[in-house]
Structure 1
Amino acid sequence: MTETILPESFEKHLVDWATTARRENRHHLSKGYQGQVLLYRDEKYQLVVKVPPRWWPYSWLSARMLRHEARVYERLQHIDGIPRCYGLLNNRFLVLDFIEGDCLREASLRQREKFYETFLGIIRRMHARGVGHADLKRKDNILVTPNDQPYLIDFGVATLRRRGGWHPINNFLFNVARRFDLNAWVKHKYRRRLEDCSPRDQRYLHRTWMERSGRWIKRQYRRLTGTKMRNRSSGR
């Protein structure tokens, strides 16, 4: 199970705090279709609290996604590079450790090779646990700490591989998500200049049929509108 080590009295306090913060629109880290992300700080804790929006049907959909995300964190506990999760309080507030750092878009990497080797190791351990993130192309979902440690966040659309039995559709979706993750890693590492990709890293780049179809559609659209594609041998 997810490592829930918060005292029961503090859990109640945190639920009351999150309910008030959501109602009064305070303590926001971010806000989107999945709900609000709040930052809680005191002398002992620095926590991220993800809460669903107040209005139906978004609240219903977001609550389902948060329950799914909580199951993902259960699967990924004790992996370095994945924030520690304290569970889903009151069946609607997902509580995580706050990670100090910048998203990959804004970070200045001092040791790029080491960072990307660590990043790849997290992805491979995640896949070994049967989780495909599926949205690592978004740099906002990759945090970089001051010592260049990558952290993966936001598992709302992740795919959980089912254990035991025969699940062809689930296996297919997991394999697609796994390919998305590895393709994203290569594209981030080479800043989308995939013609510079080393032979060693080429093995991680295998576009899915969805990516190939999107590339073809984009090419046709730009051909018809007269918009030139950037000169990249293997861009999206």
Structure 2
Amino acid sequence: MFESSLLAQLQAQFPTHQFSHESLSIVHTGRFANAIVYRYKDSQFDFIIKDFQHSPWWVRKTIAPLFINQEYKGLARLQDVDGVVDNFCRLSPIAIAYDFIEGTPLKQLAQQQAHLPARFFKDFERMVAKMHRRGVVHLDLRNLGNVICSKEGKPYIIDFQSAIRFSRFPRWLQRFMRGADMSGVYKAWQKLAGDSLPQAKADYLHDFNHVRKRWILKGYPLHRAYVWCGGVVTQILNSEFIRSILERF
């Protein structure tokens, strides 16, 4: 039933194309408040689709539209940034589709003890810096599953569900947010091309990790409360954002 609805939504977006069930497959089965991730691939289209149709009604009516809207806005703000997909569309208030990136997540490459050249991470660093100049932080780049090494050897960033504009926050928190993104770059660089990571960047990663550990283990109650309240107010209980701040840093 869910698949038929998705195909109908795709048909509405691209009325001249014929979509088929055989071309739709499940990549990841979401549970509760997480989307089911599909891939639709035929001779013309190759999409990743996130859909919340399976979720309880109160999720579909409350946080699911926020998650989809957050990802859509993140992609829209970063159009024309290298390493971010340009082709995307909202299929419904609780479903989004965007181009599939052919490649391998850095998390998988790290598990395989693979090695990437320094130029990959220099491109990745420039990409993140450009994203920050657009006023957006990703907040989940320390999760190496959110960075793809494409077949051409170029970095791509995926999963913008926790991405936000940071200008509304105080300067100290803006620096922390941008630092979290950049530390994700250096974390990947260290794991996959450690010998080429410049000492200044290694020192930056070391210092940020130290701050991050102190943030979690010892805590700064006022700061942590500010982040929590800011997330609630600005994202209306966007749990992906809260999780990114409190768990992934």
TM-score normalized by structure 1?
0.71
Number of the residue aligned with 2:56:
55
1:148 and 2:153 matched:
yes
Answer yes or no: is the 8 Å Cα contact 2:26–2:36 preserved in 1: yes
Answer yes or no: is the 8 Å Cα contact 1:49–1:96 preserved in 2: yes
* 1:92-113 Cα deviation digits (max 9, x unpaired): 2211011011110223766420
Whole-Å separation in 2 of the counterparts to 1:193 and 1:83:
25
* 1:4-49 Cα deviation digits (max 9, x unpaired): xxxx9551669x979x89xxxx611123343111111122111111
**Which structure dedicates a bigger proportion of its chain to helix?**
2
Cα drift, residue 121 of structure 1: 1.1
Q: How many residues were matched structurally?
A: 200
What aligned pairs does 1:1-236 form with structure 2 within 5 A after superposition? 10-11=12-13, 27-32=25-30, 33-52=33-52, 53-59=54-60, 60-107=62-109, 111-162=116-167, 167-169=168-170, 173-191=173-191, 198-202=198-202, 204-205=204-205, 206-207=207-208, 209-214=211-216
Whole-Å separation in 1 of the counterparts to 2:45 and 2:121:
30
Whole-Å separation in 2 of the counterparts to 1:172 and 1:70:
27
- Counterpart AA for 1:27: S
Whole-Å separation in 1 of the counterparts to 2:192 and 2:155:
19
Answer yes or no: is the 8 Å Cα contact 2:118–2:197 preserved in 1: no
Whole-Å separation in 2 of the counterparts to 1:189 and 1:158:
22
Instruction: Note the aligned Cα RMSD (angstroms).
Output: 3.5
Answer yes or no: is the 8 Å Cα contact 1:183–1:207 preserved in 2: yes
Answer yes or no: is the 8 Å Cα contact 1:133–1:155 preserved in 2: yes
Identity %: 22
Q: Aligned pair in 2 of structure 1 residues 17, 50: CA closer, same or farther (>3 Å)? A: farther
Answer yes or no: is the 8 Å Cα contact 1:50–1:93 preserved in 2: yes
Unaligned runs of 5+ in 2: 1-9, 220-248
Partner secondary structure for residue 48 of structure 1: strand
Whole-Å separation in 2 of the counterparts to 1:181 and 1:27:
31
Cα drift, residue 66 of structure 1: 0.9
Whole-Å separation in 2 of the counterparts to 1:90 and 1:168:
30
Whole-Å separation in 2 of the counterparts to 1:152 and 1:213:
26
Number of the residue aligned with 2:232:
none
Answer yes or no: is the 8 Å Cα contact 2:25–2:40 preserved in 1: yes
Answer yes or no: is the 8 Å Cα contact 1:66–1:92 preserved in 2: yes
Q: Aligned pair in 2 of structure 1 residues 192, 110: CA closer, same or farther (>3 Å)? A: closer
- Counterpart AA for 2:25: H
Answer yes or no: is the 8 Å Cα contact 1:142–1:153 preserved in 2: yes
Q: Aligned pair in 2 of structure 1 residues 78, 196: CA closer, same or farther (>3 Å)? A: closer
Unaligned runs of 5+ in 1: 1-7, 218-235
Answer yes or no: is the 8 Å Cα contact 2:108–2:145 preserved in 1: no
